[in-house]
């Protein structure tokens, strides 16, 4: 009751605001998505993602060392596959000497403590740009799951700490967990993209990897953005199947889903603040419409407040620099 209770007393200055702050973030909360290309000394700017690059393995390792020095302890890895290596089955995905496998080994050799979570999906390897094997214009679930298990085991053999299936095929988490166990990789975790929506926010990412679908869209496997309960069901299924971490993707437009999933599961929840969300902030800031750093930090706090334990974000390095100050 006013004036006995004056809520503004706890907002008087920064010292008291920081003392009673409910949500905090640190570099420990971040994963940094990285794009890897073939070659040496290669650094290709990503036009729709200002400040980011597709780098060759040698420069990727250099950047990983910088990330580690900033306190960032996890990276997501995505590779740009040569078109000559693409087919419908995605066989290059489990090549023990493939670019992804080389990248995992190189990062773990250079920075053993860095948690490496390679992407598990066929779209970078597919001639069709889809996350699964195509037959008669349809994405085939079970044959794709078999390919994803082979891909996951090859990542574990290369030294991955977690595998990160982002494909949204049914039953893939259980199949991957079973394959990892049978291959002796008991300690390799699974971070499942459990609630991955069919979103228009992914456009810049697909430019970065040249992985846009060659026909149709991904709505037969990625989720309808009108749905909420379905996300909870997907997350619970993945936990039952052996997921150690579940992910919601995209981020800012789906914070209601983040909270619902966080309330439903008993494992850490990751959120992917995706390329389109990053690009919008960059574009508005370049035009002077928004204060870049303030918007960036506000969004990261909002994602954490909604229930994220882990934030995969292209802002990780910039945010870590600010937080370390």
**So which residues are the catalytic ones?**
196, 249
- Please name the residues in contact with 109: beta carbons below 8 A apart, sequence gap of 6 or more: none
> Structure tokens of 217?
């869209």
Is 234 assigned a ligand-binding role in the annotation? Answer: yes
Distance, CA of 324 to CA of 229 (rounded, Å): 38
Distance, CA of 102 to CA of 81 (rounded, Å): 13
Distance, CA of 80 to CA of 159 (rounded, Å): 20
Distance, CA of 296 to CA of 227 (rounded, Å): 27
Nearest CA among 75, 96, 99, 89 for reference residue 154: 96
End-to-end CA distance of the chain: 40
């Amino acid at each position: 009751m006013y004036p006995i209770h004056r809520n503004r007393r706890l907002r008087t200055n920064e010292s008291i605001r920081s003392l009673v702050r409910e949500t905090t973030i640190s570099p420990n909360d971040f994963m940094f998505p990285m794009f890897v290309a073939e070659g040496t000394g290669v650094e290709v700017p990503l036009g729709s993602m200002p400040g980011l690059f597709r780098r060759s393995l040698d420069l990727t390792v250099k950047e990983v060392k910088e990330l580690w020095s900033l306190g960032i302890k996890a990276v997501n890895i995505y590779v740009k596959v040569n078109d000559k290596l693409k087919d419908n089955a995605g066989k290059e995905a489990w090549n023990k000497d493939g670019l992804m496998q080389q990248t995992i080994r190189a990062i773990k050799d250079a920075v053993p403590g860095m948690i490496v979570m390679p992407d598990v999906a066929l779209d970078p390897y597919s001639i069709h740009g889809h996350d699964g094997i195509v037959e008669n214009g349809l994405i085939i679930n079970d044959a794709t799951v078999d390919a994803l298990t082979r891909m996951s085991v090859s990542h574990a053999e290369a030294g991955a700490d977690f595998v990160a299936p982002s494909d949204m095929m049914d039953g893939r988490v259980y199949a991957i967990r079973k394959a990892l166990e049978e291959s002796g990789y008991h300690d390799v975790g699974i971070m499942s993209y459990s609630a991955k929506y069919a979103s228009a926010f992914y456009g810049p990412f697909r430019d970065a990897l040249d992985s846009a679908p060659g026909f149709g869209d991904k709505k037969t496997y990625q989720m309808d953005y009108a749905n909420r309960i379905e996300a909870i069901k997907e997350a619970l299924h993945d936990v039952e199947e052996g997921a150690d971490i579940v992910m919601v993707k995209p981020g800012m437009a789906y914070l209601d889903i983040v909270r619902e999933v966080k309330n439903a599961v008993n494992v850490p929840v990751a959120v992917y603040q995706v390329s389109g969300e990053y690009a919008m902030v960059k574009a508005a800031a370049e035009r002077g419409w928004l204060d870049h750093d303030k918007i960036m930090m506000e969004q990261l706090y909002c994602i954490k407040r909604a229930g994220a334990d882990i934030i995969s974000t292209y802002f990780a390095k910039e945010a870590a620099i600010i937080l370390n100050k």
